[in-house]
Chains A and B, each alone.
Chain A
Amino acid sequence: MKLNQKLKEYWHKLGSPRWFYQMTSGWVTFFGASAFLLLVAGVVWGLAFAPADYQQGNSFRIMYVHVPAAMVAQSLYIGMGVAGFIGLVWRMKLTDVAIGACLPLGMILTALALFTGGVWGKPTWGSWWEWDGRTVSTLILLFLYIGIYALREAIPDLNLRARASALASLVGTINIPIIKYSVEWWNTLHQSASFSLTEKPAMPAEMWLPLLIMVLGFYCFAGHQVLSRMRFEVLTRESSSRWVADLMQGKGVLVNSAKPSSSNREKG
């Protein structure tokens, strides 16, 4: 009961731009630092020390960028769908900020996944582009992102834009499994998934451990990016409010607004 209430309070606080801004300043530092450490460690380990593949030689190393980029890009889209659902049901302001923050990063990471896939495909399959299942579903993901981006650009009103893009990302997310299944059924030329949460990977540990580190690093990087963008957007949208003005004048991040006034009273 106590925990339940605490979680409820936390949830409501997270929905308020001001509390969100205050609470996430530590998270940004945490995600940024972890992303830096994990990515450096993963890149060095994966590119320099992991053993070469017995079939693909050194070209398999692009996997250390390709796989995490694709995973995070998909997660960001699903995150947008979840944010869209919350936004439509509870009409929280922050969910639209979240969608706006996930969108550009997701688009870039999807494009990166496609590009690195081509770079890997050239020596392995002999061509930059193959119309196989997973390439196509990643390309579809890119178009889903572009669709929502175009929609957001077309609606100037903030509130209506929030609702329209929430709806579009929710519908897109519901459709993702159907699209994925049908595309995979359409053509399964691609390698089967080299990494999954439930199964033991077929690779030796010194190959998949760096991959795991890179995946975690990409997720932390995405967390850092999304939160930073969201915080910036919150400040822009709330720029006319009191707490932002206080913040800009260097009065520090608010905390409990009752505290400074009570201390003032003590002084007086």
Chain B
Amino acid sequence: MVGALLLREWRILLRARSSIVNPLAFLLLSTLLFAIAAPQLVAESSERASGILWVLVLFTQLLSLDAMFRRDYDSGTLEQVMIMADVPFVAVLIRIFVQWMGTGLVIVLATPVIGPLLGLSWSAVPGTMLALLLGTPALSLLGSIGAGITVGFSRGGIILALLVLPLFLPVLIFGTDIVNAASAGLNYSYQIYWLALITLAALLVSPFAALAGLKISIEMQ
């Protein structure tokens, strides 16, 4: 069951390339917007780059969250999976994991390109990648709760943002601090532990909450 679900999600991810390409394109495009609108912000310091980068990552995540369950919800697949799966929450967890591969993981891999474009120093790139690798799963996990509740709305975007952005805040705080410490050449293991803790806590709570939200949305249909 788990294998079949994983295989299905993996195939969809490969065939519908938009779920990988779109977030990446959006991230690059908004980087470009920042570089044009505020060149003095971008080119100067690594500290600013960390803030801009994390905010862009947050927005990219937010935009792709709306599509997290949308296709399966509209086609009725989601309902079938909920009925058929032995443990429905595993199905939700797989969906979250695959969504993360399409956004978070791609962002991590794109950091060596986007970071320096935003003015991040090369020495800070490994730390930034580690921070994003630990932080983006929490964004996908926490975001899945909001995505689950709002998938039934025809225009859920702004409500999704209102529900989910406050929950993203701790990730943003520790994430930007890791990047700042990395660019200043300081030790950032303390922040890494905290970020990992936040992600683990999100892993503990989110799949169940997302499942509860999805059940509400399915009844709404």
The residues of A with any CB-CB pair to B shorter than 8 Å are 88, 140, 143-144, 146-148, 150-151, 154-155, 157, 160, 163-164, 167-168, 170-172, 174-175, 178-179, 181-183, 185-186
Residue of B nearest to A174 (CB): B205
Interface of B toward A, CB cutoff 8 Å: 145, 149-150, 153, 156, 158-159, 162-163, 165-167, 169-170, 173-174, 177, 194, 198, 201, 205, 209, 212-213, 216, 219-220
Number of A-B contacts (CB under 8 A): 75
Contact A154 B153 (CB under 8 A): yes
Rounded to whole angstroms, the CA-CA distance of A181 and B165 in the bound complex is 17
Given contacts A146-B162, A167-B209, A168-B163, contact A179 B153 (CB under 8 A): no
Name the distance in Å between B209's Cβ and chain A's nearest Cβ: 5
Q: Is B159 a contact partner of A147 (Cβ separation < 8 A)?
A: yes
CB proximity of B69 to chain A, nearest CB, Å: 15
Residues of B within 8 A of A167 (CB): 145, 149, 209, 212-213, 216
Assess A140 versus B169: contact at CB under 8 Å? Given A147-B162, A160-B219: yes
> Of the candidates A143, A144, A151, A163, which one forms a contact with B159 in the assembled complex, judged by CB atoms under 8 Å apart?
A151
Given known A154-B156, A167-B213, contact A144–B166 (CB-CB < 8 A): yes
* Distance between Cα atoms of A147 and B149 in the complex (Å): 12
Give chain B residues whose Cβ lies under 8 Å from the Cβ of A170.
Answer: 209
In the complex, what residues of A have CB within 8 A of residue B198's CB?
Answer: 178, 182
A143 to B212, CA, bound (A): 22
The answer to whether A182 touches B162 (Cβ under 8 A) is: no
Give the nearest-CB partner of A165 in chain B: B149
CA distance A145 to B49 in the complex (A): 31
CB <8 Å contact, A155 and B205: no
Known: A154-B156, A168-B149. A147 touches B220 (CB 8 A): no
Whether B170 lies near A178 (C-beta < 8 A) is yes
Residues of B within 8 A of A160 (CB): 216, 219-220
